[in-house]
Amino acid sequence: MDFQNLLDDIAGTVAASPPRGEVAAYIPQLGAVNPDQFGIAVVTGEGEVFSAGDANVPFSIQSISKVFALALVLATDGDGVWQRVFREPSGNPFNSLVQLEQEAGIPRNPFINAGALVVTDRLLSVTGDAAGTVLDLMRQESGNPGVGVDPVVAESEHLHSSRNASLAYFLASCGNLENPVPDVLDNYIRQCSLAMSCVDLALASRFLASNGVRVDGTALLSSSQTKRINAVMLTCGTYDAAGEFAYRVGLPGKSGVGGGIVAVVPNNLTVVVWSPGLGRSGNSVSGLNALDEFTTRTGLSIF
Ligand code: DON
């Protein structure tokens, strides 16, 4: 398959359309990003890298980090976390509070903010440094030692974290946090504030497309665990737009409010898009369009 031509074509289509969606202004530093950017990268099972547009520009990965934190918890601590978080789509916005009270402090899934706070809490208990463990994994899998936390984004998110703080305190009130709320929030915010490019992320996500095998050939996850993470990405990775994402793209995917989306063709390849303008559910509009075009033109979908 001629991925290079295809990616160039997709980048050209996006560049010819006006910028779409709105940047995530609720974290002011993300609101300052130029919306007129688009990148796309593919990494194949053989490790070939194809890219187009702004694929080497680092951006804030935000909720994409939640997949890696979950993978690390499952890898280091087994299935215990599933006692503390469900695996059902929420049908609600990613930072919604309502369901959490109705369901007695057990978040619907590990990718909404409440669920990710529980996962980060567990990773913190197991490793002593949840964000640092996610960062190490990202550096090792991407092969880029320059991957790091963007301190300006982290500070901006800290200063505007009332919603996540309320979720975290509610979790604590239900006995569903093991660590002090400020520590959990700090680790969560730092993992969300990692800056990576499409190419970095497509490389770092390869274990999701290779039955859990890391770049050094060791197993991070079993193939069964990898299947399960991909399944939760499909059903919950794009929040209350997961149905639309499955319909249009037909792949497990995880978005972030920085405008990135990681998608996985199991046993085959990873494809990452980035464009900062978001739709109503917090997913990149041009990114979704690009992934739709990618799977439609290649037939590379799980369906
Ligand atoms: O906690 C937040 O609101 C952000 N750090 C992450 C949210 C996010 O990326 C949702 N994804 N589309």
pLDDT at 18: 80
Catalytic residue of the set 257, 262, 264, 265: 257
In this structure, what CATH number is given to the domain that contains residue 191?
A: 3.40.710.10
Residue 247 in any domain: the answer is yes
For residues 159-171, give the mean pLDDT: 98
Three-state SS at 195:
strand
For residues 188-201, give the mean pLDDT: 98
146-183 CB burial, b ≥16 within 10 A, e <16: ebbbbeebbebbbeebeebeebbebbbeeebbebebeb
Residue 97 in any domain: the answer is yes
For atom 2 of ligand 1, which residue has the closest CA? 113
Task: Using alpha carbons, list the distances in angstroms from residue 210 to 49, 198, 294.
Answer: 15, 18, 20
Atom of ligand 1 nearest to the CA of 238: 12
For residues 230-258, give the mean pLDDT: 98
Average pLDDT, the chain: 97
Q: Is 80 exceeded by the pLDDT of residue 19?
A: no
60 classed as catalytic: no
In total, how many domains does the chain have? 1
State the helix-helix crossing angle for 65-77 and 113-127, rounded to 10 degrees: 40
Distance of CA 62 from the midpoint of ligand 1 (Å)? 5
Burial of 5 per CB tally in 10 Å (0-12, 13-18, 19+): exposed
pLDDT at 20: 85
Q: Compute the distance between CA of residue 245 and CA of residue 253 in angstroms, rounded to an integer.
A: 8
Given a contact cutoff of 8 angstroms between Cβ atoms, the answer to whether 185 and 161 are in contact is yes
pLDDT at 1: 83
Atom of ligand 1 nearest to the CA of 283: 12
Residue 303 in any domain: the answer is no
66 classed as catalytic: yes
Partners of 260 in beta bridges: 274
Q: What residues does ligand 1 touch, defined as CB less than 6 Å away?
A: 62-63, 94-95, 113, 157, 164, 192, 255-257, 282-283
Given a contact cutoff of 8 angstroms between Cβ atoms, the answer to whether 249 and 99 are in contact is no
Encoding tokens for residue 22? Answer: 């709105």
Distance of CA 183 from the midpoint of ligand 1 (Å)? 18
Interacting residues of 299 by C-beta distance below 8 A, sequence separation 6+: none
pTM of this prediction exceeds 0.75: yes
Catalytic residue of the set 43, 66, 119, 275: 66
Predicted confidence band of residue 140 (pLDDT cuts 50, 70, 90) = very high
188 classed as catalytic: yes
What strand order describes the sheet that includes 260-265? 49-53, 39-44, 269-274, 260-265, 253-255
Range of the domain at 198: 3-298
Three-state SS at 13:
helix
257 classed as catalytic: yes
For atom 12 of ligand 1, which residue has the closest CA? 256
Q: Compute the distance between CA of residue 56 and CA of residue 189 in angstroms, rounded to an integer.
A: 23
Distance of CA 190 from the midpoint of ligand 1 (Å)? 12
Residue 209 in any domain: the answer is yes
Given a contact cutoff of 8 angstroms between Cβ atoms, the answer to whether 257 and 245 are in contact is no
169 classed as catalytic: no
For the ranges 19-33, 73-87, 135-149, the lowest mean pLDDT is seen at 19-33
